[in-house]
Amino acid sequence: MPTIEDFNALEIRVGTVVAAQPLAGARKPALALTIDFGPAFGVKRSSAQITARYTPEHLIGRQVMAVTNLPARSIAGFASEVLTLGVPDQNGAVVLLAPDSTVPNGAKMF
């Protein structure tokens, strides 16, 4: 059973999508996101399999939640630096997690 210390070790932060485009070469359709986590954490990239519900145009300016302190993963030659968080809808398509009001980029979830 994970402890509260295990949970607190995860850096789950909010950021604003500043760029999005299809991820060429991915085995499953995905988008390459560029996310601004504010001046303290900077701009990071993430690969996200969210094409069933989201287009690049509709993501720009949207805030999302991401785990920011996991090791980077290479996906189709793309360095995914953060894990963008979502949950499946009734059809299995990813619904992004986000605050319901605008908050400062880089704010940590607790």
Domain boundaries, the chain: 4-96
Q: In this predicted structure, what is the pLDDT of residue 29?
A: 95
The Cα 15–Cα 63 span in angstroms is 5
Q: In this predicted structure, what is the pLDDT of residue 3?
A: 97
Q: In 10 A of CB 89, how many CB atoms?
A: 11
Segment 5-32, tens digit of pLDDT: 999 999 999 999 999 999 999 999 999 9
H runs (alpha helix) in the chain: 4-9, 56-59
Residue 101 in tokens: 């009001």
Q: In this predicted structure, what is the pLDDT of residue 80?
A: 98
Find the distance separating the first CA and the last CA of the chain, reported in whole Å: 19
Parallel, antiparallel, or unpaired: how do β-strands 94-96 and 86-88 relate?
antiparallel
Q: In this predicted structure, what is the pLDDT of residue 57?
A: 97
Q: In this predicted structure, what is the pLDDT of residue 78?
A: 96
Q: Pick from 6, 10, 17: which is nearest to 108 by CA?
A: 10
Q: In this predicted structure, what is the pLDDT of residue 59?
A: 98
Q: In this predicted structure, what is the pLDDT of residue 71?
A: 97
Q: In this predicted structure, what is the pLDDT of residue 76?
A: 93
Segment 45-95, tens digit of pLDDT: 999 999 999 999 999 999 999 999 999 999 999 999 999 999 999 999 999
Judge: domain 4-96, CATH 3.30.70.260: no
